[in-house]
Amino acid sequence: FLTFASISFSKVMRIFSLAADPALGKVGKESFDQITLMELFVQDIEDRTNIYGSEPYTSNILQWSGVYLDNEKKVIRIAWQRKSLEGCLHLEWLPNTLKVLWISLHPKLTGSLDFTALPDTMKEVFLRKNAFDGTIDLRSLPHGLTDLNVSNNRLESTPDLTCLPNTLELLSLGENSFSGSIDGSMLPDSLTFLSLSGNTFLEGTLFLNHLYNDEGDIIQVKNFHTKDTKVRLMD
């Protein structure tokens, strides 16, 4: 493996340049160890003190705050909340072993979210109350994803709800700038919570056939939120 500490400065610059191309970054990830991938992931965060802990920089990933490893010292969970992070993240460099990504409550954390770069191992993605902008591709989510929360950001365009993973249980898109007409006719049977609230210019119909129990009674409709939108619920 190439490590962040062992490669030359020129190679480091080359790696950073690759980070601008998600396709190249995804191909090259297997060449780097976990600490290098994590460094590339946060390379555009202005002040990483709250990530590294008391040291200005540490190559020991065990000392990173909010980073959890499995028995093989592979990164499986990242949990950063209220750490005053500023700048942007590079999702294309997330370790392929990652299962849970919780990064929330950073009003100066900006940039776009390339969900095509998420590892296939991902189960939960919580990126609420940041300042992410641009569009998101819900058609490219990892097949085993159960939870996605990107509420309270600055995301826009029309979310595509027609190809969600059949494992998805929670989808929170509320309080963004989504607009247009959604197709809510193909929600996965697994989905029991959906929030679209606060997207004023969003319209369409959500079909909730999948929420009926064996007795024919609809359940959990209270967990489908469309306040301050033009989206209708249809059972």
Domain spans in the chain, listed from the N-terminal domain onward: 111-234
Chain center to CA of 38? 15
Q: Is the pLDDT of residue 25 over 50?
A: no
Indicate the pLDDT class of residue 19, thresholds 50, 70 and 90: very low
Q: Cβ distance 207 to 234 under 8 Å? A: yes
Query: What mean pLDDT is predicted for residues 209-213?
Result: 72
What's the pLDDT score for residue 26? Answer: 46
User: What would the pLDDT profile of 82-128 be if each residue is shown by its tens digit?
Assistant: 999 999 999 999 999 999 999 999 999 999 999 999 999 999 999 99
What's the pLDDT score for residue 59? Answer: 73
d(CA 107, CA 124): 21
φ, ψ for residue 31, nearest 5 deg: -80, -15
Q: Six-digit token pair at 133? A: 């902008």
Determine the 3-state secondary structure of 27 from DSSP: helix
φ, ψ for residue 68, nearest 5 deg: -115, 135
Indicate the pLDDT class of residue 5, thresholds 50, 70 and 90: very low
